[in-house]
Amino acid sequence: MANVWKIGSRWSEYGSRNSSILSIFRRNNIVFVGEENASKRFIHEVKKGDYFAIADGYEVVAVAKALDVPKYLNNYRLDIKKYESEIFDYEECKDWTVGVRVKIIDLDDSIWYENRGSFSAANQIWDDVIELYENQNNKFSINSSTCTLFRRERHDSTKSLLDVHTRYIIPVYQRPYSWQEEQVKTFVSDLISGFWGNNSGFNYSEPMFIGTMQLSSKKIIDKNEYWQEVIDGQQRLTTLTILLKELRLLSPNCNKIKRLEFEWLETQINKTQNNYLIDYLSIKNTEEVKSKNNPYFKNALYIRDLLKGLYDNERNDCSNNKCDVVDRFIDYICNDVFFVVIETCAGLSKTLKIFDTINTAGLDLNGSDLFKLRMYEYLKDVKDEDNNAFEKINAIYHKVDRINQNYSKSHEGQQIVNINDVLDYYKDVLIAKYDLPNVLFTYDWTTFYERLFDVLLGVKNWDNFTKVSSPDFNIDINEIESLIDICYQWNTMPWDAEQLMNCDPKEMMFAYNLISCSRYSRYQKIVYLILFRYNQDSGKYRILSDLLVALNKVLFIYSIGYARSIYEIHSFMQTIQKHIMNYSYSYEQVLIDIHAQMDKSKEWAEEELKKNIIEKTVWKRLICITSEFLKLRKRRSVNTVEDLLFYTEYDIEHIHANADEKEWSDYDLQNSIGNLCMLESDINRSIGNKSFSDKKQSSKDDGMDYMHSKYATIRELAKHQNKWSERDALHRLEKESNRIFNFLFE
Please compute Rg for the chain using Cα positions: 36
For residue 348, is pLDDT > 90?
no
Residue 679, C-beta contacts closer than 8 angstroms, at least 6 positions apart: 650, 651, 652, 653, 706, 709, 711, 714
Instruction: Judge whether 273 and 267 are in contact, CB under 8 Å.
Output: yes
Q: What average pLDDT score do residues 337-352 get?
A: 83
Residue-wise pLDDT for 417-442, tens only, equals: 999 999 999 999 999 999 999 999 99
Report the pLDDT value the prediction gives residue 17, as an integer from 0 to 100.
61
Domain boundaries, the chain: 4-135, 142-358, 365-489, 493-600, 609-745
Q: What is the pLDDT of residue 647?
A: 95
Residues 28 and 76: beta-carbon distance below 8 Å: yes
Q: Which of 123-137, 477-491, 538-552, 723-737 has the lowest mean pLDDT?
A: 123-137
Which residues lie below 8 Å from residue 687, measured CB to CB, with a gap of 6+?
694, 695, 698, 704, 705
Say yes or no to pLDDT of 694 above 90: no
Residue 124: its H or E element:
none
The 10 Å Cβ neighbour count of residue 556 is 29
Find the length of the chain: 746
Q: Is the pLDDT of residue 313 over 50?
A: yes
Q: Quick one: DSSP state of residue 35?
A: S
Fold classified for 4-135:
ph1033 like fold (3.10.590)
pLDDT at 139: 72
Least trusted range by pLDDT, from 144-158, 161-175, 466-480, 619-633: 144-158
**pTM (global) more than 0.85:** no
Q: Which helix (H) or strand (E) holds 508?
A: helix 505-515
Question: In this model, does residue 317 exceed pLDDT 50?
Answer: no
pLDDT at 665: 80
Whether the pLDDT of residue 359 is over 80: the answer is no
Mean pLDDT over 351-374 rounds to 69
Band (pLDDT 50/70/90 cuts) for residue 199 is low
Residue 637 pLDDT grade (very low, low, confident, very high; cuts 50, 70, 90): very high
First to last CA, the chain: 57
The residue ranking higher by pLDDT, 678 or 204, is 678
**pLDDT-based confidence at residue 365 (cuts at 50, 70, 90):** low
How many Å apart are CA 71 and CA 74, to the nearest integer?
8
What integer pLDDT is reported at residue 259 of this predicted model? 73
**Coil vs helix vs strand at 432:** helix
Q: Calculate mean pLDDT across residues 377-391.
A: 83
Helix (H) or strand (E) holding 644: none
pLDDT reading at 449 higher than 90:
yes
Collapsing DSSP to helix, strand or coil, 679 comes out as: strand
In terms of average pLDDT, the best of 265-279, 445-459, 517-531 is 517-531
Looking at residue 522, what is its pLDDT?
A: 95
Confidence of residue 69 (pLDDT cuts 50, 70, 90): very high
Determine the pLDDT at residue 548: 97
CA distance 460 to 463: 10
The predicted structure's pLDDT at residue 415: 93
Residue 52 contacts residue 6 (beta carbons within 8 Å) = yes
Residue 734 has pLDDT above 80, yes or no: yes
Of 201 and 651, the one with more pLDDT: 651
Distance (Å) of CA 211 to CA 153, 187, 430: 22, 12, 41
Residue 128 has pLDDT above 80, yes or no: yes
Task: Inform me whether the pLDDT recorded for 663 exceeds 70.
Answer: no
The residue-averaged pLDDT of 402-413 equals: 92
Whole-number average pLDDT of the chain: 88
One DSSP character per residue, 567-621 reads HHHHHHHHHHHHHHH-TTS-HHHHHHHHHHHHHTTHHHHHHHHTS--TT-HHHHH
Tell me the pLDDT band of 314, cut-offs 50, 70 and 90: very low
Q: Calculate ∠ Cα 218-222-227, nearest 5°.
A: 30
Q: How many CA atoms lie within 13 A of 521 on its CB side?
A: 8
Could you tell me the pLDDT band of residue 660, with boundaries at 50, 70 and 90? low
In this prediction, residue 677 carries a pLDDT of 96
Position 318 scores a pLDDT of: 39
Mean pLDDT computed over 239-248: 93
- For residue 706, what pLDDT is reported? 94
Q: What is the dihedral of CA 371, 372, 377, 383, to 10 degrees?
A: 90
Residues 539-548, mean pLDDT to the nearest whole number: 96
Which band of pLDDT confidence, cut at 50, 70 and 90, is reported for residue 335?
confident
Q: Is the pLDDT of residue 152 over 80?
A: no
CB 450 within 8 A of CB 370: yes
Model confidence pLDDT, tens digit, residues 601-628: 998 898 999 999 998 999 999 999 999 9
* pLDDT over 80 (residue 290): no
Residue 29: which region, alpha, beta or left (left: phi > 0; alpha: psi -120 to 50)? left
